[in-house]
Every structure is written in C-alpha cells, then in structure tokens.
Amino acid sequence: MGGVRMFDALGFKIRKYHMNEGHSSLLALELMRRNGIDSTKVKDMCIFTTHTPVEAGHDKFDYALVEDLIQDTSDIDTLRKFGGADRFDTSLFAMNLSNYINGVTKRHSRISSAIYPGYKIQAITNGVHSYTWTTPYFRTLYDRYIPGWANGPSFWYE
C-alpha cells in the first residue's frame, strides 16, 4: 500500500504493478480503493509471481489479526472476497487481482498449480544466460556430456 502511495507522491504514473510473492499483495487493496473496488481495473494493472512452490511459503493470516491492523470494514470484506473466507491468503489475494500469474520455472508452475488448483500459473525463467555464467572448465565438461546445455535457460529449469 505504501509503495503505491510513494510512487504517487513522487509523480510516477504506473501502468503495471508486479507483485513479487504475496508479501506485496496489499498494493492491490490500495488499487481497489482507488478504483472503486473494481477488480477488473485492478487486474489489468497487476501481475503476480510466486517463487515458493511449497504450501508453507504462502502467507496466511487469521482475520482477527488482519482486523486489528486494517480497521476499515469494507477493506476486510474485500480481503475476504479475494483472499479467502477463512484465513487471509496473501498469494490468493494477489492471484485473484492479477491478469497474469507465473512461477519461475516450468516445474514450479506445475507445483504451484497443484497448490492453487484452478489458476493458470505460467512458467518463466529468471533469464540467466547459462553460457556466460558457466566457467570455461564446466562449459567444456557440459559440451562433452550434456549436448545442448547452453541453448537456453529452460534446459536447466525443467
């Protein structure tokens, strides 16, 4: 929420917000406030990346705690609607308010889709240029025993 306000105070006009893990998902709450609780508008402004392909890596909070921190009743209703009825799931909130969701590898997107069934979680890579980041010794070794290793980062992230 503070990040959205900071960009505004600095005069930036942000067209897309990237929520990197659920920790930043409350920026979508700020966008909901500013856009009359219009989730369609907010979804057009947000993308979400999850890096944690384990259930325990997704923050979930009891609403009693959330209500202590966010006292506007209409905000609590919005959090429940998009973040889960029983507990506030920051990743779920971010996914429900993003038009694009991705994990950082193909395997990761499959695992994350199992954690959150019904969500289309795309796969991307971190864009590492394998050849550049590999020492000459390992390049030679990989060239000999792993043909095609340097053709793209997806080779290593499957």
pLDDT tens per residue, range 50-95: 988 888 889 999 999 999 998 788 899 999 999 999 999 999 999 9
The predicted-structure confidence for 15-31, as pLDDT tens digits, reads as follows 999 999 898 999 999 99
In this predicted model, what pLDDT tens digit does every residue of 101-141 receive, in sequence order?
A: 999 888 889 999 999 999 999 988 766 677 788 899 999 99
**What is the CATH superfamily name and number for domain 15-123?**
Glycogen Phosphorylase B; (3.40.50.2000)
Domain regions of the chain by residue span: 15-123, 129-158
Q: How confident is the model at residue 34 (pLDDT cuts 50, 70, 90)?
A: very high
| Placement of tokens 């950082």 in the chain | 104
- Residues across the chain: 158
pLDDT the model gives residue 129: 72
Instruction: Report DSSP state, residue 46.
Output: E
